[in-house]
């Protein structure tokens, strides 16, 4: 692998590996559809048929059913991660350099996965944990106003209430993302009486089984970032889409102070690895989702 001071692109194998790791660690990536996103963004159209189909008699008159078309623009935003390493990297063998870059790739995938959830769930800059003006209101906490207050005593009832809200809008439920505290509350539920068995044994001891009562589910601390949400449920398959621009540059910087730390790379015998990715996502219909939130006094 050639090491240069200018940006190079991750090779296709590393890009595929990177995104596959993201899919396995992000709740949103697990529960939803990934679509390719061009650098200048793309429009996704949601079609709503306003009426049911119409029975027409022989020689009968046909009537207008109606259709609503609403475009949703998915615009990718740039995210980056960088780290200082010893400049011995520059004199390492090719095999050692490849191992270091693969290790960076694996760590970057974890950060991308967590970052996608934090940005799309809560609209926060993952590093600063503050609201991002770049993201704006393109996140679940802003767009999804169907909410249920979290009950530690009966989280199952919370999910039932959230499902009822979604189904009242003629939407379906395809997945559930929940915080570890919500999962623990479910795991603690028992039948009572003399048997007193667990209602959700698959969640015991912090397990993440992948589905609950036949519904795809993922447990992730990213749901609870910002201390507002305990669970988000809805139609992730059809009404949330995310993607990335395929060109993912990796830069090996030998000079200067690229992370604004006040420490010159050459002065500290270091080089700087930096990678950037363009990620985009869109919530196609907020009414297809509901959030289980902390009560106002606890939020």
Q: At the topology level of CATH, where does 8-45+69-293 sit?
A: phage-related protein like fold (3.90.1690)
pLDDT of 1 > 70? The answer is no
Distance CA 65, CA 53 (A): 7
pLDDT tens digits, one per residue of 111-143: 999 999 999 999 999 999 999 999 999 999 999
Highest-scoring range by mean pLDDT, 20-34, 214-228, 234-248: 214-228
pLDDT confidence tier of residue 4, bands split at 50, 70 and 90: very low
Tokens of 236: 């992730």
Which contacts qualify for 30-33: CB closer than 8 Å, 24 or more apart?
Answer: 30/175, 30/216, 30/218, 31/174, 31/175, 31/176, 31/177, 31/216, 31/218, 31/236, 31/237, 31/240, 32/175, 32/236, 32/237, 32/240, 32/241, 32/242, 33/237, 33/238, 33/240, 33/241, 33/242
Domain residue extents for the chain: 8-45+69-293
The pLDDT value given to residue 44: 58
Q: Which residue has the higher pLDDT, 69 or 246?
A: 246
Query: Are 292 and 217 in contact, with CB atoms under 8 Å apart?
Result: no
Query: Are 32 and 237 in contact, with CB atoms under 8 Å apart?
Result: yes
Tokens of 138: 């393109």
Across residues 250-258, what is the average pLDDT? 90
What percentage of residues in the chain have a pLDDT greater than 90?
62
Across residues 275-279, what is the average pLDDT? 90
pLDDT confidence tier of residue 2, bands split at 50, 70 and 90: very low
- Residue whose token pair is 């770049």: 134
| CA atoms lying within 13 Å on the CB side of residue 267 | 6
pLDDT tens digits, one per residue of 146-177: 999 999 999 999 999 999 999 999 999 999 99
């Amino acid at each position: 692998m050639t090491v240069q001071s200018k940006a190079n692109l991750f090779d296709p194998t590393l890009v595929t590996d990177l995104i596959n790791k993201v899919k396995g660690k992000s709740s949103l990536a697990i529960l939803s559809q990934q679509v390719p996103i061009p650098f200048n963004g793309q429009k996704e159209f949601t079609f709503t048929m306003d009426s049911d189909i119409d029975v027409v008699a022989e020689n009968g008159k046909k009537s207008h059913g109606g259709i609503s078309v609403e475009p949703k623009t998915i615009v990718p935003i740039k995210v980056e991660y960088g780290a200082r390493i010893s400049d011995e990297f520059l004199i390492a063998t090719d095999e050692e350099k490849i191992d270091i870059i693969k290790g960076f790739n694996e760590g970057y995938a974890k950060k991308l996965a967590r970052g996608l959830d934090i940005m799309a769930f809560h609209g926060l800059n993952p590093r600063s944990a503050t609201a991002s003006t770049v993201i704006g209101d393109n996140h679940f906490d802003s767009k999804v106003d169907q909410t249920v207050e979290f009950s530690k005593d009966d989280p199952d009832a919370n999910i039932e209430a959230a499902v009822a809200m979604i189904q009242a809008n003629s939407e379906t439920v395809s997945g559930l993302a929940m915080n570890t505290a919500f999962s623990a509350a479910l795991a603690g539920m028992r039948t009572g009486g003399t048997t007193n068995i667990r209602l959700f044994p698959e969640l015991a001891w912090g397990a993440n089984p992948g589905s609950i009562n036949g519904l795809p589910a993922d447990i992730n601390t990213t749901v609870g970032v910002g201390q507002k949400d305990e669970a988000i449920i809805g139609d992730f398959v059809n009404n949330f889409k995310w993607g990335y621009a395929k060109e993912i540059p990796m830069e090996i910087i030998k000079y200067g102070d690229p992370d604004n730390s006040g420490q010159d790379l050459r002065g500290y015998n270091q080089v700087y690895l930096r990678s950037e990715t363009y990620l985009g996502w869109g919530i196609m219909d907020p009414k297809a989702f509901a959030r289980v939130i902390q009560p106002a006094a606890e939020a």
